[in-house]
Amino acid sequence: MDTEKEKAAATTCSFCGKNKNSVKLLVTATTVAICNECIEFCTQTIKEHEDEESKNSPKIYDPITIKTHLDEHVIGQENAKIVLSVAIANHYKRITSPPKNLEMQKGNVLLIGPTGSGKTLLAKSVARLLDVPFIVADATSLTEAGYVGDDVESMISMLLAEAKGDVALAERGIVFIDEIDKIARKGESANISRDVSGEGVQQALLKLIEGTKCRVQPSGGRKHPSSEMTVVDTRNILFIAGGAFVGLNDIIKRRSKGSSLGFGAQIVSAEDKSFLSEVIPEDLTKFGMIPEFVGRFATTINVDDLTKDQLIKVLTDIKNNFIDQYKYLFELDGIKLSFNKDAIAQIAENCLKLKTGARGLQSEIERVLLPHMFNISKYKEADVKKININQELVDNPKVII
Ligand SMILES: Nc1ncnc2c1ncn2[C@@H]1O[C@H](COP(=O)(O)OP(=O)(O)OP(=O)(O)O)[C@@H](O)[C@H]1O
Ligand SMILES: [Mg+2]
């Protein structure tokens, strides 16, 4: 009897009763079976149910929850994480419970700090967490309307595409404009008619950031006269801008030194000292950002250079860290890769000298592992199962067989 039931189950779907010959696939268990059509139907039903659930209970973002998430991906930058978490939580409050008789200002954020210190990483990590559309645009590719390149509205088309064409959703989104310092005016007194790469783009961005009804291509593509345009109101879109602002430190340093002249108070010994935490809007305009642009970013936060200990943590502690990534690559060839503590410390030390923040870590690891990766077949032939990288192999990378 049992075996008969089993046989029947193995040949027909227990849900719709279709025979295995009339469906693409029949997944069988001991006494039941399910066909691909019923699986698809169930998956769709579950998804609809989940969508409905999340629609009914929009996520509430608490700054501490956001920061905890950022901590998993970004080492250090405590202050930046806190300010960013608050800005995002407030953005959510504003858009989910808009005030009736009150005009609310957006809390656009400007992130400044050295290269490879985690500005873009912060933005990307925020994006992973949020359920509003979020895009990272590169300011270097933006141009004023009429010039070759993407005009600033292209960011809104990207956002709309990210929102799968849902205008209302796009209107609550977040735009991260990376490399914003690259659109600085060239030279403080530059007043050449219109400067394509710099001031003109800043001017074009003003309206968008302030809030305007912007006509964009729903597909996210380039403007085409014949296709229909969608209107997106940018009033509630949160803008976060980030840039390395190379040279800004000197501007602040000069100002703060200048102001203390005659008091003999400020003797700056460390050439590398960062003054970025003391930035005021005037410094940014000296750098080449137009005052109206600076004025639209209520919050300016600086990220710091990573210390050696932080670089070590970047290597070993965060999710998807470089060491785990390379371990995986070696694992694919059946080799267990490991690093001594000294070796890791030396890699961080070397990276510090490159002055490219954590960016240097990957190139350092590549340099150290290159001979081993190149000769992987020889290791396999020699049946090597383990490679341990010690300080000597960091100083002098070479094959160990
Ligand atoms: N604070 C950090 N924590 C963890 N990883 C980091 C951190 N900062 C940088 N990294 C690593 O370095 C890479 C480069 O960092 P990121 O792109 O965020 O730099 P950036 O500050 O945007 O620099 P740039 O001004 O040159 O654009 C990241 O992909 C990440 O792997
Ligand atoms: Mg960046």
User: pLDDT per residue over 270-316, tens digit each?
Assistant: 456 788 888 999 999 999 999 999 999 988 999 999 999 999 999 99
Q: How far is Cα 333 from Cα 266, in angstroms, rounded to an integer?
A: 58
Ligand nearest to the CA of 244: 1
Give percent of the chain above pLDDT 90: 54
Determine if ligand 1 sits within 6 Å of the CB of residue 77. Answer: yes
Q: Tell me: the pLDDT tens digits for 333-357?
A: 999 999 999 999 999 999 999 989 9
Q: Tell me: the pLDDT tens digits for 208-258?
A: 998 899 888 776 445 555 567 899 999 889 999 999 999 999 999 888 876
Q: Return phi, psi of residue 232, to 5°.
A: -120, 130
Partnered with residue 197 across adjacent β-strands are none
Please report which confidence band the pLDDT of residue 145 belongs to, taking 50, 70 and 90 as the band edges.
Answer: low
Min mean pLDDT across 51-60, 115-124, 283-292 is at: 51-60
Return the ligand 1 atom nearest residue 116 CA.
19
Residue whose CA lies nearest to ligand 1 atom number 14: 116
Q: Which carries the bigger pLDDT value, residue 152 or residue 2?
A: 152
pLDDT at 106 over 60: yes
- At 189 the pLDDT is 46
Min mean pLDDT across 43-57, 98-112, 340-354 is at: 43-57
Return the ligand 1 atom nearest residue 123 CA.
18
Distance, C-alpha 345 to centroid of its chain: 27
Q: How far is Cα 111 from Cα 49, in angstroms, rounded to an integer?
A: 39
The mean predicted confidence, pLDDT, of the chain is 85
Model pTM score: 0.75
The continuous run of DSSP H or E covering 283 comes out as: helix 281-287
Please report which confidence band the pLDDT of residue 269 belongs to, taking 50, 70 and 90 as the band edges.
Answer: very low
pLDDT at 267 over 50: no
Match 């990272």 to its residue by tokens.
136
CA of 314 to the centre of ligand 1 (A): 10
Nearest to 107 by CA among 263, 239, 15: 239
Length of the chain: 401
DSSP state letters, 337-398: EEE-HHHHHHHHHHHHHHTSTTHHHHHHHHHHHHHHHHTHHHHHHTT--EEEE-HHHHHS--
Determine if ligand 1 sits within 6 Å of the CB of residue 315. Answer: no
- At 55 the pLDDT is 60
Q: How far is Cα 175 from Cα 161, in angstroms, rounded to an integer?
A: 13
- At 18 the pLDDT is 92
pLDDT at 179 over 70: yes
Match 């010690």 to its residue by tokens.
390
Neighbours of 98 (CB within 10 A): 10
Residue 319, token pair as written in the block: 């999710």
Determine if ligand 1 sits within 6 Å of the CB of residue 316. Answer: no
**Sequence-distant (≥ 6) Cβ neighbours of residue 93 within 8 angstroms:** none
Residue 234, token pair as written in the block: 């940018």
Determine if ligand 1 sits within 6 Å of the CB of residue 185. Answer: no
What integer is the mean pLDDT of 11-39? 91
What integer is the mean pLDDT of 79-105? 84
The continuous run of DSSP H or E covering 230 comes out as: strand 230-233
- At 322 the pLDDT is 92
Min mean pLDDT across 89-93, 118-122, 161-165, 382-386 is at: 89-93
User: Is residue 24 within 8 Å of residue 40, measured between CB atoms?
Assistant: no
- At 291 the pLDDT is 92
In Å, how far are 330, 386, 394 from 372, measured between CA atoms?
A: 9, 11, 12
